[in-house]
Amino acid sequence: MHWSLSIIEVGVIPDVPLAAHVPGTPPEVLVALPCYCFLLTDGSHHVLVDTGADARSSAIAGLDIEGDTRELLAEGLQGCGVEPDDVTLVVHTHLHYDHVGNDSCFPRAEVVVQRTEVRWATGSDRGPYYVEVPALLDALGERVRPVEGDIELLPGLQVLWNGGHTPGHQSVLLTTPSGGVCVCGDIVPMKVNTGVVGSSCPRSAEAEQFLTIARAAGWEMIPSHDPELRAHPACVGKG
């Protein structure tokens, strides 16, 4: 089964220290990094990878996102001819606030996340970028589908646990007519991180291991926050 990818820009995080992704950059160098959601379709299933931020959780995390994510996501989906109710599967690469803010817009979707990520995101060592995850999980209820490791969700569509950025981080691998395409998530925030692991991946050995597998497989790597993605042929969002 062949899948296709649409990249929807859903806002911009201003003033990110580039040093978090590019080792050796002076700490004062700040960049504005886009956030994206990724729509995957095989013609009959519509799968959304991550749902962007919402204004409230961004404010709580202390990182305001420029742009109305909810509106940009709705417009982007509409541009692909997809209604929110058509999305029957949401995959979360991880549960940081800028990836889970609009789950409530997709009431028919099962929500796939690694069990390890759920555990970490609700534990005491989770760090500042998890915002009210217990409330999110409560709201989703039985729609949450915790998975463990590498799982085929549908023919030609897999999630791959890889850690690196967070203990339960996963990427999504789709089979396309031109080969494997990996929607990386924050294990590869910028294209440069296909070659070098930045400090935003503190579990660097896991990230290195995943990059080695990806290189050997020859997948196209789709980063999560790279401005260059705006020029990708699959990009439909306009931030």
Nearest residue (CB) to Zn ion, 92 versus 96: 96
Say how many Å lie between the first and final Cα of the chain, rounded.
31
Size of the site for Zn ion (CB under 5 A): 2
Q: Contact between 54 and Zn ion (CB under 5 A)?
A: no
HSE, CB side, 13 Å, CA atoms: give it for residue 109. 26
* Residue type for position 210: F
Q: Tell the smallest beta-carbon distance from residue 99 to Zn ion (Å).
A: 6
Q: Distance between CA 8 and CA 229 in Å, rounded? A: 10
Please choose, out of 74-82, 91-99, 140-148, 215-223, the segment that lies near Zn ion by the rule CB under 5 A: 91-99
Look at residue 58 and give its three-state secondary structure: helix
CB 97 within 8 A of CB 53: yes
Under rule CB under 5 A, which residues in 94-153 are in contact with Zn ion? 96
Q: Distance between CA 179 and CA 110 in Å, rounded? A: 26
The helix (run of H) or strand (run of E) holding residue 74 is: helix 69-79
| CB closest to Zn ion, residue no | 96
Nearest residue (CB) to Zn ion, 70 versus 96: 96
Under rule CB under 5 A, which residues in 166-195 are in contact with Zn ion? 186
Nearest residue (CB) to Zn ion, 106 versus 186: 186
Nearest residue (CB) to Zn ion, 126 versus 143: 126
Binding residues for Zn ion (CB under 5 A): 96, 186
